[in-house]
Copies of this chain bind each other. A is one copy, B any other.
Amino acid sequence: MTDQPTLAQLAEQLGAELRLAPGADAEQPVSGLNTLEDANSGQVSFLASANYRRFLASTRASGVLIGAELADECPVSALVVDNPYHAFARATAIFDTTPQPAPGIHPAATVDPSAEIDASASIAAGAVIEASVRIGAGVHIGANCVVGEGSEIGAGTRLKPGAIVYHGCSIGRDCTIHSQAVIGADGFGFAPYQRQWTKIHQLGGVEIGDDVEIGACSCIDRGALGNTVIGRGVKIDNQVQIAHNVQIGDYSAMAACSAVAGSAVIGKHCTLAGGVGVVGHVTVADGSHITARTLVTKSIESAGSYSSGTPFSDSRSWRRNAVRYGQLDQMARRLKELEKQLEGLAHRDGTED
């Protein structure tokens, strides 16, 4: 964010039609964004869901990003747009205060002479860039990041402090890799031999498309043979684990603490809620949605919503019910037996008629 835009400038940048409230001033500077409920004068808000409509009448915002169908209800200046939530997202870029480092290599960074660093890239203090690395235009490598031998970082990509990329990995353009993320650690491969484990060295790499975001402490392992592949526009939250040779299709999104086991293939435009697990070697169809904490144990053949797990309750009720879980098969058999007996009785009864 540089200077504060005026209401009129903000509307123009977002392609919004500005409908000024009586007495409002199109030249009022906009200091920031906030919710309808919490916004103060000088801030702009947005109405993107019917759930929040009840806060509209009393908002103190100086402007509201709003659809045409509700603009008449807006008690303050309306910035009328087709898609208020998307307009809000675009507005956040205008008000973002994330520090933007100047180009250049910090004297406390360590860069191998064989690395090719674009002159517009910024390499922060403590970063280590190993041999034969290639770093594109406008890239930010944060403090204490490490980029391993021969890896490539595409133009416009940002590695936040402490992110680590092993050797031989490729990251596309305009990606964001958050702190402590690990790209290209060894997949977990060991052959059992004489009751011990022989390591299967992981000979593949990691290939990440353009416009990907990877959260803090997330891990994308390198492939055993061939690459682990993260498609274009994929969004991965914190503490997500992607095992060797997984493929994630374009524009899929995975919330925090999800995990995908080896060689699983997640389709395009899938959404995995928090804590989802996907076992190895299965396929998840394009457009699938998996609800929180579900464990996907076999392939999903067609788009839809999928779930597993049990509802939560007070521990006492839960304990009573949980103990029955271990009796379920027996209960099912007893039920069937009862049905048979009852049919016998009914039949006998029937013959008496």
Is A257 part of the binding interface, using a Cβ–Cβ cutoff of 8 Å?
yes
A191 smallest CB distance to B (angstroms): 4
Is A206 part of the binding interface, using a Cβ–Cβ cutoff of 8 Å?
no
List A157-189 residues whose CB lies under 8 Å from chain B.
Answer: 160-162, 164, 166-168, 176, 178-180, 182, 185-186, 188-189
Please pick, from B257, B313, B323, the residue contacting A311 in the complex, using a CB distance under 8 A.
B323
Question: Are A182 and B191 closer than 8 Å at their CB atoms?
Answer: no
A113 smallest CB distance to B (angstroms): 13
Question: Are B325 and A328 closer than 8 Å at their CB atoms?
Answer: yes
Q: Could you tell me the distance between the alpha carbons of A307 and B89 in the complex, rounded to whole angstroms?
A: 37
| Contact partners of A293 in chain B: CB under 8 A | 277, 295
| Contact partners of A189 in chain B: CB under 8 A | 89
| Contact partners of A346 in chain B: CB under 8 A | 341, 345
Question: Are A130 and B99 closer than 8 Å at their CB atoms?
Answer: yes
| A20-28, A69-77, A218-226: which lies at the interface | A218-226
Q: Could you tell me the distance between the alpha carbons of A98 and B203 in the complex, rounded to whole angstroms?
A: 8
| Contact partners of A33 in chain B: CB under 8 A | 203, 225
List A178-215 residues whose CB lies under 8 Å from chain B.
Answer: 178-180, 182, 185-186, 188-191, 193, 195-203, 213, 215
Question: Are B233 and A196 closer than 8 Å at their CB atoms?
Answer: yes
Is A247 part of the binding interface, using a Cβ–Cβ cutoff of 8 Å?
no
Number of residues from A at the complex interface, CB < 8 A: 134
Q: Mark A90-124, 1 if CB is under 8 A from B, else 0.
A: 10110111110000001010100000000000001
Q: Could you tell me the distance between the alpha carbons of A196 and B314 in the complex, rounded to whole angstroms?
A: 25
| Contact partners of A219 in chain B: CB under 8 A | 215-217, 238-239, 256
A214 smallest CB distance to B (angstroms): 11
Question: Are A161 and B149 closer than 8 Å at their CB atoms?
Answer: no
Question: Are A310 and B311 closer than 8 Å at their CB atoms?
Answer: no
A321 smallest CB distance to B (angstroms): 4
Is A348 part of the binding interface, using a Cβ–Cβ cutoff of 8 Å?
yes
A249 smallest CB distance to B (angstroms): 12
A330 smallest CB distance to B (angstroms): 9
Q: Could you tell me the distance between the alpha carbons of A148 and B99 in the complex, rounded to whole angstroms?
A: 9
18 A-B pairs with C-beta separation under 8 A? A83-B193, A98-B167, A110-B126, A144-B144, A160-B185, A162-B162, A166-B179, A197-B251, A221-B238, A241-B256, A277-B293, A294-B312, A309-B310, A310-B325, A324-B332, A325-B325, A341-B346, A348-B349
